[in-house]
Amino acid sequence: MQLPKYDSYKDSGVDWLGEIPEGWNLQKLKYLFGFSERGTAPTYADEGIPVISQSCISSYALNLKKAKYHNASISFQAYRGLLHKGDMLIASTGVGVLGKCALYDTDIESFADSHVTIVRDETTHVTTKYLFYLLSVQYDMINACLSEGATKQTELQRDRLRSLLLPVPSPEDQERIIAFLDQKTAEIDEAIAKKQKLIERLQEQKSILINQAVTKGLNPDAPMKESGVEWIGEIPAHWELQKAKVLFDKTQHPVHSKDGIVTAFRDGEVTLRTNRRTEGFTIALLEQGYQGVRSGQLVVNSMDAFAGAIGISDSDGKCSPEYVVCDATKPSESYLPFYAYLLRNMAEKGYIQAICPAVRQRALRFRYPNLAPVLLPAPHKEEQKQIVEVIEITKSNHDEAIKHLADQIALLVEFKQTLISLAVTGKIKV
């Protein structure tokens, strides 16, 4: 499909921009917008005036729920970041949010702290809404304004930002572009939100099905009995209950010279760290005293067990001494993958946190002495295997559907960014 274009174009002389429509101009940002000076980050209190930090800016939207609160007893004159409706906010520091921007589109009286750059519309040439759309997709422009600051961390350099050359459409073109993008991005965002809801439902369904399988079995008509264990409830009448220490022992294998580091991830995968991306796991506080771990063993990350970091290792290697590594006490009676799912279900229901009280969440440790006395369902091993087989099929089907939806969301996000970029740079006429 041929997209509508302007009648004629001219070379902008700017590499990232290329050609722009005849009648559009180029101006440095500092001649179009004002910058509110950044003051010192205020003292936070439980109540008072909301203070917007860089953590409030994510996915090019403003999340006021993450705002801190300014102590109202401190003078407003101490801070020069009082916000006006229509201001554009740019995260000036912060891993993952640096350079992201959002519009302050509310009448609530708020501050921005020293980690947020405030760009304010002070002319009639360009609106902050147009600038927001422009900067939200032009990553190369923002990246050109980043460098190491006084704290040795990468941050937004405002002098570079002020010197950016921007395309300046006519006021009429700006109005059309903003109206078009407001409508189209809202439609795309709605489609994304619906798919995200479907993903949440699939995740919830998967969790319910796994919980049902490991605590109630596969036969919905089986006679039931009370387990006497609060987080388990009723179990099939023919199942027994056994203490964990009867079902599996904590073991410690020697470390071999070629062993790589095995990590227990929060999604239940236990594998060599080199087998997947390294984000999202807890680095051991103690980097010495590794223990050997062998493929097929039950592995519990004592620090992250409450979040589901429990599973069966698919690799030989070595792991942190913070891990609990177990073998079945009687391999003929216990199928460890069944108990990995059961213990993850225990974590999901909050029982691991309940039996391992700690002042702070990250101080919680689920060690073998905590696990040993816990009563667990102990169906016959063949039934354990059948349950795991059904769970694996269920997980595979749900995960495939979730991945399909996630791929669709990624395409919608890419389409949204492309559409914005084409409109704000004049590559299409709206």
pLDDT tens digit sequence for 212-229: 999 999 999 999 999 999
Q: What does the mean pLDDT of the chain come to?
A: 87
Phi first, then psi: give them for residue 137, nearest 5 degrees. -120, -10
Enter the CATH code of domain 169-222+380-430: 1.10.287.1120
pLDDT, average across residues 291-315: 95
pLDDT, average across residues 150-168: 83
Q: Does 25-168 carry CATH code 1.10.3720.10?
A: no
Instruction: Kindly state the helix (H) or strand (E) to which residue 265 belongs, with its residue range.
Output: none
Per CATH, 25-168 and 240-378 having the same topology is answered yes
> Quick count: other Cβ atoms within 10 Å of Cβ 1?
2
pLDDT band, residue 139 (cuts 50/70/90)? confident
pTM confidence score? 0.82
**Contacts of residue 91, Cβ cutoff 8 Å, sequence gap at least 6:** 54, 57, 97, 98, 99, 100, 101, 115, 116, 156
pLDDT of 80 above 70:
no
Q: What is the pLDDT of residue 359?
A: 46
> Using an 8 Å Cβ cutoff, are 59 and 31 in contact?
no
Q: What is the pLDDT of residue 35?
A: 81
pLDDT of 275 above 80:
yes
pLDDT, average across residues 265-282: 79
Side-chain-facing half-sphere of 42: CA atoms under 13 Å: 31
pLDDT band, residue 39 (cuts 50/70/90)? low
Residue 134 gets the label, from left (phi > 0), alpha (psi -120 to 50) or beta, of: alpha
pLDDT, average across residues 359-386: 87
> Using an 8 Å Cβ cutoff, are 61 and 52 in contact?
no
Distance, CA of 237 to CA of 217 (rounded, Å): 11
Distance, CA of 176 to CA of 184 (rounded, Å): 12
> Any idea where the domains of the chain sit in the sequence?
25-168, 169-222+380-430, 240-378
Query: What CATH number does domain 240-378 carry, 2.40.50.320, 3.30.420.10, 3.90.220.20, 3.30.200.20?
Result: 3.90.220.20
Q: Which of 114-118, 195-199, 410-414 has the lowest mean pLDDT?
A: 114-118
Query: Both tokens of residue 412?
Result: 């919608």
pLDDT of 238 above 90:
yes
Q: What is the pLDDT of residue 150?
A: 61
Phi first, then psi: give them for residue 108, nearest 5 degrees. -65, 135
**pLDDT tens profile 324-336:** 999 999 999 999 9
pLDDT of 73 above 80:
no
pLDDT band, residue 95 (cuts 50/70/90)? confident
Q: What is the pLDDT of residue 154?
A: 83
Residue 428 vs residue 65, higher pLDDT: 428
Q: What is the pLDDT of residue 66?
A: 83
Q: Which of 137-151, 205-219, 281-295, 400-414 has the lowest mean pLDDT?
A: 281-295
pLDDT, average across residues 88-105: 85
pLDDT of 281 above 60:
no
Amino acid, single-letter form, for residue 298? L
